[in-house]
Amino acid sequence: MGPAPFQASASVLEGGVRLLEIHGELDLSTAGQLEGPLEEATSDEDGAVLIDLAECTFIDSTGIAMIVRAWQRVDGAAGNGGQGGLVLCCQNEQVRRVLEVTGLEHSLRVFPTRDAAAAALRG
């Protein structure tokens, strides 16, 4: 059985939180498919963004770099010193371990569920 097909989609949750859902493996071969939905989710400089990695089964340095650039764009534009414009939710242990090893888990707020992440953004 092969890996789950990659899919990324952007939408808006209640309260204006922009949601980016990532499914499957996020790596060099699928990163191009993330560019459009990522741009859509991060285009509004005044909003909050939640990247949902619950269904992401693998992430490599290319995916990490895309998340970091999105975080810099959103949190930098918000003028909040990197505090809270973009959050992640992640339940997959392998993906969470990559976030931990790269230090991203200590720079970004990472929540175990989408509800907890959305609540944190809504304040």
Please report which residue ranges of 1-123 form alpha helices under DSSP H: 31-42, 61-78, 93-101, 104-107, 114-122
Distance CA 55, CA 68 (A): 19
What domains can you pick out in the chain, each with its CATH number?
7-122 (3.30.750.24)
Q: What is the pLDDT of residues 59-93, one digit of tens each?
A: 999 999 999 999 988 876 555 544 458 999 999 99
Look up the pTM and report it: 0.89
- Say which residue, 119 or 84, is predicted with more confidence: 119
